[in-house]
Structure 1
Amino acid sequence: MSRVKNALYVTLVACLMGGLLYAQSKQTDSTAPKPEQYAASTEWPTYGHDSGGMRFSPLKQITPANVSQMEIAWTYHMKPEGFVAPAGGRGGRGGESGFRASENTPLIINGLMYISSPYGRVVALDAATGKEAWVYTLPSGNPADRGVEYFAGDATTPPLIVVGTADAKLFTLDPKTGALNTKFGVNGIVNLDTPEVTHGLPNAHTGISSPPIMYKNLIIIGSHIQEGNGPGAAGDIRAFDVHDGKLAWTFHSIPREGEPNYGTWIGESAKQRSGVNVWGFMTVDVARGIVYMPFGNASGDLWGGDRRGESLYSTSVVAADAKTGKYLWHFQVVHHDIWDYDLEAPPLLMDVKKGGKTIPAVAIISKSSLLFMLDRVTGKPIYDVEERPVTQSTVPVEKTSPTQPFPVKPEPLIPLNFEMKDIATVTPELEAACRKLITDNNVEVGGGPYAPPTWGHSRVIFPSFIGGANWGGGSFNPTLGYMFINVHSLGQLFGLTDPASGPVESKDIVGTNIQGGRSGPLSTTRPSGRFREPVSQMPCNQPPWGELVAVNVNTGDIAWKVPLGITESLPVEKQKTGRPGIGGSIATASGLIFVGYSDDSRFRALDAKTGKELWTVKLAGSSMSVPSTYQAKDGRQYVVTVATGGTLGGAPLTSDEVVAFRVKK
């Protein structure tokens, strides 16, 4: 009898202890923000702050009145001690300095900051002090350059940090310790390079450059793939169950036979086609269960002779059921894209007040710098969209679309054409050099929006293949109804000509996969590249070369635009030219905008109502990323940015710093 009593006692104690531990775990989980609560979060729980990507914080501690008192609170160096730089290096992706470029947006959850480091690590910091809490070192490669994602936990699985990698791996980490979650995938890892995606091609590959987006238990993820012609990996969107890493659904970015819009590909031109991928950011309407996927153009980027027609879902936003991946609607921003005018900026979910109604909207910005606002439930434009005639290609075999879509509102955010009257006159030397560049090389100007590459000589294409706008997209202040978008005005010198092997014939082109680079089987004319003076690197078009633009989404009008960035090599009175850049802004309820973006190494705060610059600081490197803001455990508001420089071609790579600011006491 005593044994029975003892057994019952032990069982009772075990049950009580188990219940207590379970209750404690649930209590711990309950402190984690849930996606439906993200908009009200005083931290930064996902890339866009909320799942719809508004990048708007409710914090009001830092205001237009006190922002000038901002100071550096702490600095964290991402480069580990003893790190050896790779030999050489190009652009901003590496180099003899030992620094590596980062476009990371830190996440802040429960007092910890999570960073994907370009040095092969995921790092958690105390958000108030910048001190390391833990470090996870990847077995190989680097985590996605632009950040990580957060799973808030559910009844069966605790919160997790979700990480994609440049070498096509997916894994999850314990947010408190950085321990690998071995219950996920195979020994903690899901390999994204599957035969279904690589088309069974031995040299096809994928990678992750931006964080995935969570919907309930699903990790929805895109990929970075090849941009040249020839067979390659598919740009499909996939959803994996966060509980075990099993594939839940696949959305074919190039429709398969029997799927909607398969007929937009002529002949066999879709077969083993690469491109049409989301290398940027997706967003989710959590309440409606809709995921918004902004696709890039089909390979090869700059020649479409073997992919005539609409070629859906090239350069389109697609809405799908987030639970099943089922197609709902699409909107194509560029027809037959031969300019690499990818979407990829996060489709921004907001409400538009128009005609006495509140419309659930999604804002789409592309490299072409046209802003489309659509009803996010139906995909119908909120402001009229017109199909306008555009200049046609003279390149053999190429067949451009006779029209392109233009929103009636807002007007283009930058000029969409270059004429000789637009030549830069910032200095006499710059003007003379740019005129010489055009005349000596028989460079063609004009042609209007969507002017195609010319045949046998170069043309100034405006905007360039990097925009315009880029992956940084916009932020949104719902009180003002203003969307803030950073853009640069850069041209591109580009044309096509016969390859060394002779002219391209029209037969056997459509329906085949031509081997070659981004311009297919054709050669690129010279000069080719950014339209700028090669020594000073100053653009050959008139400033502003970079701007921050505010659009009133309730009227469709541009509220204000201001130059963003200075050219220090010019005399002081001419320096405010605006500068090119990469990255984006955030907005706060106190009426501020924080933005790095420009290649002048400055980080700025602006008045959201007027665009007036209220505060600026020079950093060790340009902040070509999207910042975050949060309230730390000490009760103070911080703003943090990653400032390495080097992610825009030609920008110096000078730092490894993560810098946090706060107002002086």
Structure 2
Amino acid sequence: MQADFRPTLLSRFVSPGSHIVSPEAWNPLSFLIAWFWGIMARLVTAGVLFLLLMPPGVFAQEWRTYGGDLGGTRFSTLRQINRSNIGKLKRAWTYHMGEMDRGGNATDGHHAAPFESTPLVIDGVLYFSTPSNRVIALDAESGTEIWQFDPQAGPTGQRRYFQHRGVAYWQNTGGDDRRILFGTFDGRLIALDAKTGKPCRDFGEKGEINLRTGVADAFPSAEYAVTSPPAIYRDLAITGAAVPEYPSKGPSGAVRAFDVRSGKLVWIFHTIPEPGEAGHESWKEDAWKDRTGTNVWSLMSVDTERRLVFLPVGSASYDFYGADRKGLDLFSNSLVALDAATGRLVWYYQMVHHDIWDYDMPAQPVLISLRRHGKEIPAVAQVTKMGFVFILDRLTGKPLFPVEERRVPESNVPGEVAWSTQPFPVQPPPLVRQSVEEADIRTSESNRYCTELFHSLENHGMYTPYGVELTLVMPGTLGGGNWSGGSFDKGSGYLFVNANELGAVGAMRPQADDAPERFRRVAKGGEYARFWDENEWPCQKPPWGTLTAVDVNKGEIVWKVALGRVDELKATTGTPNLGGSIVTAGGVVFIGATTDSRFRAFDARTGEQLWVTDLEASAHATPVTYLGKKTGKQFVVIAAGGGGYFRGKVSDTLAAFSLPDK
């Protein structure tokens, strides 16, 4: 971990260049005048003055950022829909975005591009993105289309589809310049006029900038895709990207900030430190050069008050073999806090050392607060694929609950040197199983496949590296937790996290002399094979997916329930799941995520399922909730598209729900 960051009172309230009264010239009136104008300058610079002039409660009725707020809490103060009346919730409107054929298997939707978008709702307009990168604006109360923008329009050849989680919104101080910002699969950052959907011509080159420039120049055909919305801090759009997981050389995973008006680069942070930068010593010899991975493909969070942006950084490439990058590999698999205005490193905390499991930091960091000894501590919670939740001090990066470095299994792959220890949080306890014993395997006659598979695998507990023999890793690459992340209710101190109970299977096999890597993970089910049967039911006994409430003040699990059901088994087994939750002041946790094409609501206090409805396909996305400007009705909206890593129906549905008219 690196330097602390505690802005002084003066630096918070007196803007650069403002007049500060000297001690010799001290008088109360002069000081008050200087202090007042210092605060006003700060507010104007931050765009906060506009917020202060807004009618009370307006922003609470909307969903202005991916995570509900810049800190990713996914909490809404709305309570019109609550525990007592949620049983009456009905479909209010349905919008079909028109992308049913998104590749994959036509019969079961396997590997069709998923519809993962989380909409934004501002001033009565709902904005979302599609699996082909289109951006669409709807009337938030009726679902009527207002405009759409297609970045693949024109003679671009075959249409591309990929996961895309949404867009970001920015407005100037006066509110007369409102922009939608989003990234594309081919590495562009685009700014649209929020009212018309037309490109903002003053942004970059006719409304877009080429994000590949400066980070992917030497790798023109390599992946550089923006699948998550940028983080917005004042007048900056802060971007990461998806880069190759194989081979090890490719585009940089650096994080950059661009001016939202002009598109000009403001700062860059090297997630793989260059010579002279903190953390560079963790890379042996020239292992850092042209290294890809170590990127932020997921969501960042922003603390505007403390001028911090939080980066969940992924693993270094190649994901499963690190003989050419022996060491800690900073800042891979770390939560990194930067000065949001400058990109300066404030602190970091590495959660996996020398990752050879593809244990990216996958989720948006959740900015929470803890109550301890009568004081409120600003903190950040990081959900991980390992099933851990790390809770750190937001200012220093120090753990707020004990974390132990424990010895873990060694690797038997030639050349590989697994790090000897890994950090294990003592509290909260792991949310999922991290090992599987023979007694855990389904043993009925119909599950003989799983029994035979288990006995063919090597496993030595948590952090077992993929070896030269076929190996079981638990949790696998889908987690545990994933980009689904968590939602947080400050009033109760509960953090709600959905997770997978799903292992992975693979062996490291030598490659040809001219291959980019000496070893590569392989298995009968492909490079990312799962520990499940022919039906894609996990091989261990249920639950296979869970929703958990964690009391962040005590570091304890309050309740845990199976999330989802396998209809063929006629049981609430829980299912593999991707897609997050939201929580409301009405005491309700809303979540889709499961593979059973259902949308559910749970009691935030007890975990009791209060409501469930069928969807056209599984909702591998995070819902939103907002209040209609005209009707005053609370709506809940979710994308139900299916596809992705799981079999099942595919749809192009955006579904809205509300209570019936009185």
- Give the 5 Å matches for 1:129-208: 129-139=142-152, 145-154=164-173, 158-194=177-213, 196-198=214-216, 200-208=218-226
Alignment map for 1:502-651 (pairs within 5 Å)? 515-516=516-517, 521-522=519-520, 524-526=522-524, 529-570=528-569, 572=570, 575-633=571-629, 634-647=631-644, 649-651=645-647
8 A Cα contact 1:369 1:469, kept in partner: yes
Q: Determine if contact 1:551/1:558 at 8 Å carries over to the other structure.
A: yes
Q: Secondary structure, in 3 states, of the residue corresponding to 1:324?
A: coil
Change (3 A) 1:546 1:406: same
Q: What is the SS of the residue equivalent to 1:245?
A: coil
| Aligned counterpart, 2:457 | 443
Deviation, 1:86, is: 5.7
Distance 1:476 1:253 in 2: 28
SS in 2 for 1:569: helix
Query: AA paired with 1:637?
Result: Q
Structure 1 residues 363-417: Cα deviation after superposition (integer angstroms, max 9, x where no partner): 0111111110000111011001110111111111110111100111011111111
The 1-side partners of 2:583 and 2:144 are apart by 26
2:125 partner letter: L
Q: Map Cα deviations across residues 78-109 of structure 1 (whole Å, 9 max, x no partner).
A: 116xx8766967996875xxxx5210001000
| C-alpha distance 144-436 of structure 1, shift in aligned 2 (>3 A) | closer
Q: Write the letter of the residue equivalent to 1:624.
A: H
Residues in 2 aligned to 1:279 and 1:580: alpha-carbon distance in whole angstroms:
21
Which residue is equivalent to 1:16? none
2:509 and 2:519 in contact (8 A); partners too: no
Aligned to 2:402: 384
Structure 1 stretch displaced more, 113-122 or 156-165: 156-165
Check 1:391–1:285 CA distance in 2 against 1; reply closer, same or farther (3 A cut). Answer: same
Report the counterpart of residue 337 of structure 2 in structure 1.
Answer: 319
Q: Give the residue type in structure 1 aligned to 2:251.
A: A
Name the CA distance, whole Å, in 1 between partners of 2:642 and 2:215.
Answer: 33
- Write the distance in 1 (CA, Å) between the matches of 2:69 and 2:410: 42
What's the Cα RMSD here?
A: 2.4
- State the AA in 1 paired with 2:253: G
The one-letter code matched in structure 2 to 1:310 is L
Alignment partner of 2:454: what SS?
helix
* Alpha carbons 1:35, 1:152 under 8 Å: kept: no
Q: Structure 1 residues 360 and 523, CA, compared in 2 at 3 Å: closer, same or farther?
A: closer
- Quote the sequence identity (%): 42
2:261 maps to which residue?
243
Q: Return the TM-score normalized by structure 2.
A: 0.87
In 2, distance between residues paired with 1:309 and 1:256? 15
SS of alignment partner, residue 658 of structure 1: strand
Structure 2: 5+ residue stretches without partners: 1-47, 154-159
Contact 2:506/2:521 (CA < 8 Å) preserved in 1?
no
What pairs up with 1:118-129 in 2 under 5 angstroms? 118-129=131-142
Distance apart, 1:454 and its partner CA: 1.8
1:522-560 Cα deviation digits (max 9, x unpaired): 463556654445422211111100000100000000000
- Tell me by how many angstroms 1:156 deviates: 9.2
Residue identity matched to 2:308: I
Residue number in structure 1 paired with 2:72: 53
Cα distance in 2, alignment partners of residues 533 and 586 from structure 1: 29
Partner of 1:350: 368
Match of 1:462 in 2: 474
State how far apart, in whole Å, the 2-side matches of 1:603 and 1:32 are.
34
Check conservation: 1:199, 1:232, Cα contact below 8 A: no
Which structure 2 residues correspond to residues 413-424 of structure 1 after superposition, within 5 A? Answer: 413-424=431-442
Describe the shift of the 1:34–1:323 C-alpha distance in structure 2 as closer, same or farther (beyond 3 A). Answer: farther
Match of 1:493 in 2: 505
- The 2-side partners of 1:564 and 1:39 are apart by 33
Kept after mapping to 1: 8 A contact 2:486/2:581: yes
CA distance in 1, matches of 2:397, 2:516: 36
- Secondary structure of residue in 1 paired with 2:194: coil
One-letter amino acid of the structure 2 residue matched with residue 444 of structure 1: E
The one of 244, 264, 280 equivalent to 1:226 is: 244
Is it true that 1:365 corresponds to 2:383 in the alignment?
Answer: yes
Aligned position for 1:656: 652
1:118–1:524: structure 2 CA closer, same or farther, 3 Å change rule? Answer: closer
Q: CA deviation at 1:69?
A: 0.3
Distance 1:37-1:539 versus aligned 2 partners, 3 A rule: farther
Q: Which residue of 2 aligns with 1:215?
A: 233
Say which SS state the counterpart of residue 306 (structure 1) adopts. Answer: helix
The aligned amino acid for 1:661 is F
